[in-house]
Amino acid sequence: MAQDKEKFYITTAIAYSSRKPHFGNTYEVIMTDAVARFQRQMGKDVFFLTGTDEHGQKIENLANEAGVSPQAYVDDVSGQIKKIWDLMGASYDKFIRTTDDYHVKSVEHIFRKLYEKGDIYKGYYEGWYCTPCEAFFTDTQAAGGVCPDCGRPVQKTREEAYFFRMSRYADRLIDYIENHVEFIEPEGRKKEMLNNFLHAGLQDLCVSRSSFRWGIPVPFDDKHIIYVWIDALSNYITALGYDPDLETQPELFRKYWPADVHVIGKDILRFHTIYWPIILMALDLPLPKKVFGHPWFNSGTDKMSKSRGNVIYADDLARDFGVDGVRYFALAEMPYAADGSITYENVINRYNTDLANNLGNLVSRTHAMTKKYFDGIVPTPGTEEGPDAELKAAVAAAIEKSRALMESFHVADSLEEIFSMLRRANKYIDETMPWALAKDPEKRERLGTVLYNLLEVIRAAAVLLTPYLPGTAEKIFAQLGTDVTAYETISSFGALKVGQPLGEAETLFARVDEAAFFRMLEQRQAAEAAEATPEKPAGEPEIGIEDFGKVELRSARVLACEPVPKAKKLLKLQVDLGYEKRQIVSGIAKFYTPDELIGKTVVVVANLAPAKLCGVESRGMLLASGEEQVRVVFLDPETPLGERIR
């Protein structure tokens, strides 16, 4: 009965619904799925949660750029994320969206409870803000005017906000972390959190925003929306039905909380090991048992990002290497604590070496020999001889070691133990030479023993590979014609039933010709680039260099910005040209908020005749692209003010 099983609650971080997730983002759900499937194999009652984080200024800006509502924007991107998760075989039990009604309601109640307890108070925030990361930084942290996490420019921000009294719980959290060695893994991440943040002294945390509107409103102050820390992090409990206003929490919450493990990227470890535990302490709830901060997948040696143009997507890889080919690379290539690296060369090498040669070839050869020498019937094993004992010892070692490594989240090392066993099985074929045994009628019993042992190793491999490569494991079971697939059946060697017919042969992984693959990839990318290239516009009449030279373009910094009263499209900017300050009115209010422009270095048409727009004088024009979607041209912050643009 399910209620008698040991529970296991595992979560991913919820994916931010700003863009389609790249391979590095997708790794997390593949890894978490493998752990969830493994724990089900161990007989546990698993609840696997994933989903999407759908609020924030970045999404509001992207929706404005796209000319759609924020809700329509996240509906589309969340759908893309879920589609990729499903393609990768993620066996989640629930997919939460932070725009779900029940989540919104619970978060409002959580915020109110924390406010009424005195853990949240109202004040002002002044500091540096990174829109892509949705994070605030001090002058020291944002040295050089850039975000310490992503390297993008930050904006000076001052706004009214609500704050959480982090210091009230800091000592309690330090004590908890130091006395629960399993709470933060890998070990090095725990030291980083303690030394860099907790021992250095916690600042109170900004938990509301008033400069944008796309979020959950503070229930008693609708000028503010609840910021990401309380909104997004609370998904781990709201997905189970938690609501602080309920007298009795629902059965799902009582059954599964606390989480056994939050699987997250190392870049958001601080939020999950400091902010989230303190929020839980304030709610008088138990803390998760473990937070595992996995490394990143780099594209070669560089961080993967769309701006670098080095993004690889999981669905594109699946088109060429199959879903289990993608899953295998993700799980086998990522070390426990160091960053992994993905290139097409690496993917092809692992695919050919491990999947096609080691696993696929072993299954194909063994199946073919059993068909040829025993009419496809599982033969009866005889007396153990020669290398049989070594082969069986390799199977026993792989079972024991892979399980222990998976329990401790050493996923790649766990897979390596299984593939080491498969390499030993391929060596066993070379040692026993079944084709030679088949030529001697007196060696038929020995031939049957060899082939039985190989078939049983393959069955054990399929059982062990079920969490990692579920589709491949099912294909192997089908080729063996067996329904003996439970984990406990590999506790002793020899559970494959003698005398049963094998299923039909099927190529598991066809070897990839690297040269042909890159020719195909180059052609595909060229075709996609051609399809994405817009037609040349009709444009304006040609002008001579003397006409262009009349336009004086100069660099300037935006000092201040505010909407023009009663003009929905206009912003009034005060800019510094180095040699003078002036006012410019620009019709970009639909595309930019004042906070996104203040502090930016822009290009100004400096010799444009003054004009009045809605009664406000404008002395110049900003350089920007687009009509339906306007994009202001921003210069490097180090550009000297007043410099001529040529």
DSSP 265-300: EGGGHHIIIIIHHHHHHHTT-PPPS-EEEE-PEEET
CA–CA dist 433, 427 (Å, integer): 10
Higher pLDDT, 230 or 631: 230
Helix locations, 269-338, DSSP H: 269-270, 276-282, 314-321, 323-333
Residue spans of alpha helices (H) in 481-615: 514-532, 545-548, 594-597
Average pLDDT over residues 584-592: 88
Task: Tell me how crowded residue 516 is: count the other CB atoms within 10 A of its CB.
Answer: 9
CB 531 within 8 A of CB 520: no
pLDDT tens digits for 342-365? 999 999 999 999 999 999 999 999
Residue 60 or 311, more confident: 60
- What is the tens place of the pLDDT at every residue in 244-295? 999 999 999 999 999 999 999 999 999 999 999 999 999 999 999 999 999 9
Q: Which of 104-108, 192-196, 621-625 has the highest mean pLDDT?
A: 104-108
CB 299 within 8 A of CB 308: yes
Average pLDDT over residues 601-615: 86
pLDDT band at 182; cut points 50, 70, 90: very high
Tell me 92's DSSP state: -
Classify the C-alpha dihedral 225-227-232-237 as positive or negative.
negative
What is the per-residue pLDDT across 128-167, written as a single tens digit (0 to 9) for each? 888 777 777 878 778 888 887 777 788 888 889 999 999 9
Q: What is the mean pLDDT of residues 482-501?
A: 97
Q: Which pLDDT tens digit goes with each residue over 371-408?
A: 999 999 999 999 999 899 999 999 999 999 999 999 99
Does 583 score more than 60 pLDDT? Answer: yes
Q: Give how far the C-alpha of residue 239 lies from the chain's centroid of Cα atoms, to the nearest Å.
A: 19
**Partners of 155 in beta bridges:** 129
Residue 539 pLDDT > 70: no
Q: d(Cα 580, Cα 314) in Å, to the nearest integer? A: 52
> How many C-beta atoms lie closer than 10 Å to residue 83's C-beta?
12
Q: At what angle do helices 323-333 and 470-480 cross, to 10 degrees?
A: 120
Average pLDDT over residues 221-227: 95
pLDDT of 538 > 70? The answer is no
What is the distance between the alpha carbons of residues 237 and 253, in angstroms, rounded to a whole number?
Answer: 7
pLDDT at 309: 62
- What mean pLDDT do residues 469-495 have? 98
Kindly report the number of other CB atoms within 10 A of residue 87's CB atom.
Answer: 14
What pLDDT was estimated at residue 3?
Answer: 55
Work out the mean pLDDT of the chain and round it to a whole number.
Answer: 92
pLDDT at 103 over 70: yes
Tokens describing residue 366: 């063994």
d(CA 205, CA 137): 11
- Structure token pair of residue 147: 């975000």
Reply yes or no on whether the pLDDT at 314 is more than 80.
yes
Q: Whole-model pTM above 0.85?
A: no
Across residues 468-481, what is the average pLDDT? 98
Q: What tokens does 131 get?
A: 């829109």
pLDDT of residue 71: 97
Say if residue 307's pLDDT is above 60.
no
Q: What single-letter DSSP state applies at residue 153?
A: B
Instruction: Label the pairing between strands 216-218 and 155-164.
Output: unpaired
**pLDDT value of position 2:** 46
Q: What dihedral angle (degrees, nearest 10) is formed by the CA atoms of 474, 480, 483, 486?
A: -70
Task: Give the E-state strand segments of 317-441 in sequence order.
Answer: 340-342
Residue 200 near residue 217, CB atoms below 8 Å = no
Which of 7-11, 187-191, 483-487 is the least confident region?
187-191
| pLDDT band (50, 70, 90) for residue 470 | very high
Tell which wins on pLDDT, 251 or 305.
Answer: 251
Provide Rg for the chain, Cα atoms.
30
Rounded to an integer, the average pLDDT of 218-226 is: 96
Coil/strand/helix, residue 567: coil
* Gap between the Cα atoms of 632 and 646, Å rounded: 18
Answer for the pair 434, 447: CB distance below 8 angstroms, yes or no: yes
pLDDT at 548 over 80: no
Q: What is the DSSP string of 473-506?
A: HHHHHHHHT-----GGGGSSS--SPTTPBP----
Q: Give the per-residue pLDDT at 566.
A: 76
- What is the spatial distance between Cα 441 and Cα 420, in angstroms, rounded to a whole number? 33
Q: What is the structure's pLDDT at 141?
A: 79
* Residue 631, pLDDT above cutoff 90: no
Averaged over 515-529, what is the pLDDT? 91
CA–CA distances in Å: residue 620 to residues 545, 558, 646:
21, 13, 17
Task: Tell me which residue has tokens 């996923």.
Answer: 411
Q: How far apart are CA 494 and CA 453, in angstroms?
A: 8
- 1 pLDDT band, cuts 50/70/90, is very low
Residue 575 has a CB neighbour count (10 Å cut-off) of 27
Query: What is the Cα–Cα distance from 138 to 128, expressed in whole angstroms?
Result: 6
Per-residue pLDDT tens over the stretch 400-446? 999 999 999 999 999 999 999 999 999 999 999 999 999 999 999 99
Structure tokens at 219: 């229930």
Residue located via tokens 């993608």:
326
